[in-house]
């Protein structure tokens, strides 16, 4: 009986292990039911959908996968910006990992280290808006996004799988090689660049090359703490002053 594994099963497992995904995490990314165990044991053939996923997400050369080429990766037009690590709860739903100000300093340097992510708080929002996608929370540092986003606020971002998905004039969490920024983006695909814009006009826009972007998260919600009393508008203050003056004049008449 021939028990030798097909080369594609062996190389599929090699890719997963090199990327440091568990069998469940890798299955979730590639829309495989349950885990990747049957594929890695040679019991289930790799489907066309899985091959397409390996190409789209990780630029894996299908000829290499089946032993017909020594080139493991395709020449990617754009870098992969997908999150390298995800977290699952006991029901195999994705958790939302929360990256606070302190953790953000080390985040770009630990993108592929599952053990580092285990230190981060994680929770599951039982809402339909947070299903079928990967979400992550980031705490905002600094005042560059005032007045809309204050220092210490949290933003929740949805993972973007490709730079082609960038929507102009939307707010993103941009993970660079050495920093994590929350900015509005203007997209310039012809230049292979994005412009990062702060709401606070005291900060100048910055141009960033595609190659500098490690991850990209579309911000779709915000968590803020503390309720501030609304400031009295200048018009209301002016009306109050006018009424006080009118009362004063009326008293003089009487």
User: Residue ranges of the domains in the chain?
Assistant: 7-65, 96-223
pTM of the model: 0.65
> According to the model, what pLDDT value does residue 26 have?
92
Among the residue ranges 13-22, 51-60, 237-246, the one predicted with the least confidence is 237-246
Residue 153: what are its φ and ψ, rounded to 5°? -65, 160
Confidence of residue 219 (pLDDT cuts 50, 70, 90): very high
Confidence of residue 1 (pLDDT cuts 50, 70, 90): very low
> According to the model, what pLDDT value does residue 100 have?
94
Confidence of residue 116 (pLDDT cuts 50, 70, 90): very high
> According to the model, what pLDDT value does residue 51 have?
95
Higher pLDDT: 227 or 168? It is 168
Could you give the angle at which helices 48-58 and 7-19 cross, rounded to 10 degrees? 40
Contact between residue 108 and residue 178 where contact means Cβ atoms under 8 Å apart? yes
Confidence of residue 249 (pLDDT cuts 50, 70, 90): low
Burial of 204 (0-12, 13-18, 19+ CB in 10 A): exposed
The mean pLDDT of 127-141, rounded to a whole number, is 90
Q: Note the CATH architecture for domain 96-223.
A: Ribbon (2.10)
The mean pLDDT of 49-54, rounded to a whole number, is 93
Contact between residue 12 and residue 5 where contact means Cβ atoms under 8 Å apart? no
> According to the model, what pLDDT value does residue 34 have?
85
pLDDT of residue 160 exceeding 80, the answer is: yes
The mean pLDDT of 163-171, rounded to a whole number, is 93
pLDDT in tens, 172-192: 999 999 999 999 999 988 788
The mean pLDDT of 101-130, rounded to a whole number, is 90
**Token digits for 231?**
């400031």
Higher pLDDT: 60 or 250? It is 60
> According to the model, what pLDDT value does residue 235 have?
64
Q: What is the domain class of 7-65 according to CATH? A: mainly alpha
Considering the chain, what is the average pLDDT of its residues? Answer: 87
């Amino acid at each position: 009986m021939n028990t030798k594994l097909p080369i594609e099963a062996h190389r599929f497992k090699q890719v997963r292990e090199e990327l440091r995904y568990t069998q469940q995490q890798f299955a979730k990314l590639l829309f495989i039911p349950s885990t990747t165990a049957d594929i890695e044991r040679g019991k289930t053939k790799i489907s066309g959908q899985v091959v397409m996923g390996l190409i789209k997400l990780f630029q894996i050369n299908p000829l290499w996968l089946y032993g017909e080429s020594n080139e493991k990766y395709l020449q990617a037009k754009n870098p992969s910006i997908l999150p390298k690590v995800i977290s699952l709860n006991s029901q195999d739903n994705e958790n939302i990992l929360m990256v606070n100000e302190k953790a953000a300093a080390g985040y770009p340097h630990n993108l592929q280290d599952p053990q580092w992510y285990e230190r981060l708080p994680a929770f599951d929002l039982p809402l339909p808006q947070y299903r079928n996608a990967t979400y992550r929370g980031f705490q905002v540092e600094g005042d560059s996004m005032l007045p809309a986003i204050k220092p210490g606020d949290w933003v929740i971002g949805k993972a973007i799988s490709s730079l082609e998905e960038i929507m102009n004039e939307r707010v993103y969490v941009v993970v660079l090689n050495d920093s994590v920024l929350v900015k509005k983006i203007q997209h310039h695909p012809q230049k292979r660049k994005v412009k990062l814009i702060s709401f606070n006009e005291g900060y100048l826009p910055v141009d960033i090359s595609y190659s500098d972007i490690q991850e990209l998260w579309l911000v779709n919600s915000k968590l803020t703490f503390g309720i501030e009393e609304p400031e009295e508008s200048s018009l209301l203050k002016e009306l109050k002053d006018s009424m006080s003056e009118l009362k004063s004049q009326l008293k003089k008449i009487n």
